[in-house]
Amino acid sequence: MNQADIYQTETKKPLADYVAALDAVATRRGFSIHNRSNMAMADAYRANNLPMSSDFDLHMIQVCKPEKSSQSFQANIERAPLMPKFIVVFSKDDATQVRFLSYRKELIASLVPGDAQFPESLAQSYAVIREMIDEAL
């Protein structure tokens, strides 16, 4: 049984337009993008003097719902390693590709034992993020 899933979808929207649409959807739903200024990986590589082709456009977008995460961390700081949620967006085959990694409840429970509420709470967050991804398409 897989303990993790990668949600995959695509859109014909240009990457920048999809990212803007996702940002609007996330904001409307109470989420924020933590790394708005450094989600473009080509810029991060170039800032470290690493060669990168001009058409490389991978974006790693970290989303968070501060209202929920602040309560979650206060309930159990051991949840922290599983809290970062990244939506990965890139161009491929004349489309904008979108990927999102999520973990199954069983894996979450095994990684944060003794925390009965966390697996369901995190699963709900994953479901909302998948909805946001689709709404931005």
| pLDDT for 17 | 97
Contact 112, 78 (CB under 8 A): yes
Q: How confident is the model at residue 10 (pLDDT cuts 50, 70, 90)?
A: very high
Is the per-residue pLDDT at 1 higher than 80? no
| pLDDT for 48 | 95
| pLDDT for 66 | 95
| pLDDT for 40 | 95
Is the per-residue pLDDT at 13 higher than 90? yes
7 burial class (0-12, 13-18, 19+ CB within 10 angstroms)? middle
| pLDDT for 18 | 98
Yes or no: domain 4-136 corresponds to CATH 3.40.50.970? no
| pLDDT for 20 | 97
Mean pLDDT of the chain: 96
| pLDDT for 41 | 96
| pLDDT for 107 | 97
| pLDDT for 108 | 97
